[in-house]
């Protein structure tokens, strides 16, 4: 799993929860760090939890980049946000709205990873 969120507390809760479910979890706190990881085609993740609002490069920009360069990963993205936007609907990605229920988060991640 890759967690991309600038809120450390959210990364902490998700990392702990997903690790308890048996997932190996990697995390970054900004868009530039996410882009660096995702541009490395040797790397892959079962699913990517991607915050829409990030410093530097937005989650939507990262998602669009994945669509163009790594469509296999783009299909495994779960977007997180504290707001709503038509842009999110256009992605077709599952959206986890903050504040979120941890069981909903677990279910969306499992589904994105194809483990459901």
Give residue 88's pLDDT band: very low, low, confident or very high (50, 70, 90).
confident
> CATH number for the domain including 107?
3.40.50.2300
Q: Work out the average pLDDT over 88-98.
A: 87
pLDDT at 11: 97
Residue 53 has pLDDT above 70, yes or no: yes
Residue 57 has pLDDT above 80, yes or no: yes
Please give the residue range of the domain that contains residue 99: 2-112
Give residue 82's pLDDT band: very low, low, confident or very high (50, 70, 90).
confident
Residues 15-38 as b/e (b if ≥16 CB within 10 A, e otherwise) read: bebbeeeebebebbbbbebbbeeb
Number of domain units in the chain: 1
List, edge to edge, every strand of the sheet that includes 2-4: 26-28, 2-4, 48-51, 77-81, 95-97
E strand or H helix that includes residue 49: strand 48-51
pLDDT at 84: 67
Average pLDDT of every residue of the chain: 94
pLDDT at 83: 79
């Amino acid at each position: 799993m890759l967690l991309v969120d600038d809120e450390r507390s959210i990364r902490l809760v998700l990392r702990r929860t997903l690790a308890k479910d048996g997932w190996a979890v990697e995390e970054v706190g900004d868009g530039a760090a996410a882009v660096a990881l995702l541009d490395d085609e040797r790397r892959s993740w079962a699913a990517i939890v991607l915050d829409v609002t990030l410093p530097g490069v937005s989650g939507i920009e990262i998602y669009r980049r994945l669509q163009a360069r790594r469509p296999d990963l783009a299909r495994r993205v779960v977007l997180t946000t504290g707001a709503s936007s038509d842009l999110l609907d256009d992605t077709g990605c599952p959206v986890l709205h903050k504040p979120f229920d941890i069981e909903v988060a677990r279910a969306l991640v499992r589904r994105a990873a194809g483990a459901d």
